[in-house]
């Protein structure tokens, strides 16, 4: 049974209901909408498709709304062929156009300019006296397309993180009841606090994922972790600011810190990059995904592979295949993902104890959660036993579907919780998920935000 989850990004290659449905059948657990590309009309269509697919396949599919935040992009009338050693002008009104005035404020001769996710690198030769125009020399050959991102390597853009567009996108996320909001380019705890305040004012409750992709975030990583519901290791942008050889260590640090505080951890960027053009992954990509599971991620997130790649469905099949093997192999090697430095509440320790007992009894866990806390507590220890979590809230069932090892069940009918759990047990028995003789461990939180009751019985 695969326990590590798959998140897929929707884009031109997959913006079709039939393709999205096939992707879910092959193993997608959640979808990401990248608000940097498209408009609300298009995003509404995506949401409607996913909700229909969810009903057709009897699934609980969370949607992550990924807000762009302050990103500077270039303007070009068409594609521009870049030649190594050639000089170019970047200005507000000619050459490679960058209209954002804050871009020029902190640029100096000798700085490096990165375009198109670092594929094109240029060195600054001259900055005019008014800081409105720079001359650069390209260090590589390439093709530069309109609307690509541009950054100064190792430096931040001044000003507020959130733009007017972001505020509109957050409103869209709340109004359309998306389960998650991912914040790009988080730098400090205050960025998350500000987004949470806006969410509260709008009456929403999506869980907040902080994308760690800027070196400034590494300086405040512990505070950011505590303020977030989850962390996303965005290796693409990190690799533009930080030496590539350091990325594996930083990745491990982020995942480890997320585990320490019981936060959702997601790994993204170039996981199956070669499958954008090929039907099979490279050996290095397979190893990369396996190592991510071993490090303790809840999910992997595919970006360009499913958004603009040639083989979005095949990519999901391979991701599911690799993850299933990794989960199975590590089942005996890692009976419990726990370290002495884990920050645990009383209820976290109770959940850990439940997993110990379930392993000892070779049992299965059937639990109940109202807001998702019990599911999160059980999932953080990366248990290698099947877990089904029931909830009355459809939105909660979707949210917890990203969590490692959690199989959500939405139970609409109200009633006594233990009766509901026994009814769920009966259904699972009838489906063959809980064979005769299985020991079922029931776990619930009888009070708000707790996990404090455990019972067990043999089928």
**pLDDT, tens digit, 9 for 90 and up, residues 115-141:** 987 889 999 999 998 888 999 999 999
Domain limits, CATH 2.40.33.10, in the chain: 80-152
Beta bridge partners of 453: 444
pTM of the model: 0.93
For residue 28, the Cα-to-chain-centroid distance in whole angstroms is 13
Options 2.40.170.20, 2.40.33.10, 1.10.357.10, 2.60.40.790; CATH for 80-152 is 2.40.33.10
Q: Residue 252's pLDDT is what?
A: 96
Contact yes or no for 436/428 (Cβ under 8 A): no
Q: Residue 158's pLDDT is what?
A: 59
Close Cβ partners of 396 (under 8 Å, ≥ 6 residues apart): 369, 370, 371, 372, 408
Read off the pLDDT band of 159 (50, 70, 90).
low
- Average pLDDT over the chain, rounded to an integer: 94
Contact yes or no for 24/50 (Cβ under 8 A): no
Output 154 or 45, whichever has higher pLDDT: 45
- Locate tokens 């009633």: which residue? 415
For 245-253, what is the mean pLDDT?
95
Read off the pLDDT band of 157 (50, 70, 90).
low
For 344-353, what is the mean pLDDT?
95
Tokens of 282: 């490279």
**CATH code of the domain occupying 346-458:** 3.40.1380.20
Close Cβ partners of 417 (under 8 Å, ≥ 6 residues apart): 368, 444, 446
Q: Is 31 helix (H, G, I), strand (E, B) or coil?
A: strand
Q: Residue 70's pLDDT is what?
A: 87
Domain limits, CATH 3.20.20.60, in the chain: 5-68+161-327
Helix %, strand %, coil % for the chain, to 5?
40, 25, 40
Given a cut of 90, is residue 221 above it in pLDDT? yes
- Locate tokens 């959640």: which residue? 30
Options 3.40.50.2020, 3.10.129.10, 1.10.10.10, 3.20.20.60; CATH for 5-68+161-327 is 3.20.20.60
Tokens of 436: 């005769």
Q: Is 291 helix (H, G, I), strand (E, B) or coil?
A: helix
What backbone torsions phi and psi does residue 204 show, to the nearest 5 degrees? Answer: -100, 175
Q: Residue 372's pLDDT is what?
A: 95
Three state DSSP letters for 336-365: CCCCCCCCCCHHHHHHHHHHHHHHHCCCEE
């Amino acid at each position: 049974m695969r326990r590590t989850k798959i998140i897929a990004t929707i884009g031109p290659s997959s913006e079709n209901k039939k393709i999205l449905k096939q992707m879910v059948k092959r193993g997608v657990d959640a979808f990401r909408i990248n608000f940097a590309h498209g408009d609300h009309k298009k995003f509404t269509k995506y949401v409607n498709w996913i909700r229909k697919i969810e009903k057709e396949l009897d699934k609980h599919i969370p949607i992550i709304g990924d807000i762009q935040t302050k990103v500077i992009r270039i303007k070009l009338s068409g594609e521009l062929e870049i030649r190594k050693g050639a000089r170019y002008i970047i200005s507000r009104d000619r050459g490679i156009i960058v209209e954002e005035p804050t871009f020029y404020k902190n640029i100096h001769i000798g700085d490096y300019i990165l375009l198109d996710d670092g594929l094109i690198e240029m060195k600054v030769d001259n900055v005019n006296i008014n800081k409105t125009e720079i001359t650069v020399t390209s260090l590589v050959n390439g093709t530069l397309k309109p609307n690509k991102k541009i950054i100064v390597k190792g430096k931040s853009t001044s000003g507020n993180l959130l733009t007017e567009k972001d505020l509109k996108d957050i409103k869209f996320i709340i109004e359309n009841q998306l389960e998650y909001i991912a914040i790009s380019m988080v730098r400090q705890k205050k960025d998350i606090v500000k987004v949470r305040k806006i969410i509260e004012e709008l009456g929403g409750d999506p869980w907040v994922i902080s994308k760690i992709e800027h070196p400034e975030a590494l300086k405040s990583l512990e505070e950011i972790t505590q303020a977030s519901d989850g962390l996303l290791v965005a290796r693409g942008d990190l690799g533009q600011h930080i030496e590539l050889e350091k990325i594996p260590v930083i990745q491990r640090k982020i995942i480890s810190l997320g585990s320490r505080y019981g936060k959702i951890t997601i790994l993204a960027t170039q996981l199956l990059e070669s499958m954008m053009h090929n039907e099979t992954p490279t050996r290095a990509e397979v190893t990369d995904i396996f190592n991510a599971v071993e490090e303790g991620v809840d999910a992997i997130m595919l970006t360009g592979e499913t958004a603009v790649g040639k083989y979005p469905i095949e990519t999901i099949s391979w991701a599911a295949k690799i993850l299933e093997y990794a989960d199975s192999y590590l089942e005996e090697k890692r009976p419990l993902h726990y370290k002495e430095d884990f920050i645990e509440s009383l209820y976290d320790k109770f959940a850990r104890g439940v997993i110990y007992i379930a392993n000892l009894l070779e049992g299965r866990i059937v639990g109940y959660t109202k807001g998702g806390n019990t599911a999160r507590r059980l999932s953080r220890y990366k248990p290698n036993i099947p877990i089904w979590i029931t909830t009355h809230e459809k939105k909660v069932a979707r949210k917890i579907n990203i969590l490692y090892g959690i199989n959500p069940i939405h139970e609409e009918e109200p009633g006594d919780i233990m009766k509901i759990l026994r009814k769920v047990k009966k259904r699972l028995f009838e489906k063959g998920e809980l064979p005769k003789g299985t020991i079922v461990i029931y776990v619930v939180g009888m009070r708000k935000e707790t996990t404090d009751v455990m019972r067990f019985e043999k089928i």
